[in-house]
Amino acid sequence: MKRQGMLNSHISKVLSDLGHTDLIVIADAGLPIPSDVPRIDLALTLGVPSFAEVVEAVSDDMVVEKVVLASEIQENNENTLQFMKKTFSDTEIEFLSHEEFKEKTKVAKVVIRTGEVTPYANCILQAGVIF
């Protein structure tokens, strides 16, 4: 058994397979997931696991060169926005309309669904490289 790092085998496999500029989505419980994009469903109950917990666990194991958020988060979910700015303080953050955000999820390698139930608690993480 692994001593540290990502224990979820499905997420660990996705992270290992990522190439430069590949995208993954971490989603709240309500984000529509395109039918042809693989889903890793972690949602257990309302709020469990939280968006923040999953973002922290994934970003601990992933080189992230860019984060994409829905622009609506700025007006509708200040707490999550501040968490993302703090977590990715040295990373480019791009804002798209929620509709554009949902379109961009169609090219993601995976959508990881959390139990989060606050508005616009979704992000797209673009993979970077370690060199």
* Average pLDDT of the segment spanning 8-16: 96
pLDDT band at 1 (very low <50, low <70, confident <90, very high): low
> pLDDT tens digit string along 44-66?
999 999 999 999 999 999 999 99
* pLDDT at residue 3, as a whole number: 73
Task: Tell me, yes or no, if 20 is annotated catalytic.
Answer: yes
Which residues, 6 or more positions from 61, have their beta carbon under 8 angstroms from its beta carbon?
Answer: 5, 6, 12, 15
Q: Is 82 exposed, middle or buried (0-12, 13-18, 19+ CB in 10 A)?
A: exposed
Q: Which residues are annotated as a binding site for substrate?
A: 28, 98, 120-122
* pLDDT at residue 5, as a whole number: 87
> CA of 95: how far to CAs of 4, 8, 86, 89, in Å?
32, 29, 16, 15
Q: Which residues are annotated as a binding site?
A: 28, 98, 120-122
Please give the domain boundaries of the chain with CATH numbers for all domains. 9-127 (3.40.1650.10)
Which of the 8 DSSP states describes residue 117?
A: -
Which of the residues 9, 13, 17, 20 is marked catalytic?
A: 20
Q: Tokens for 103, please give them.
A: 């379109």
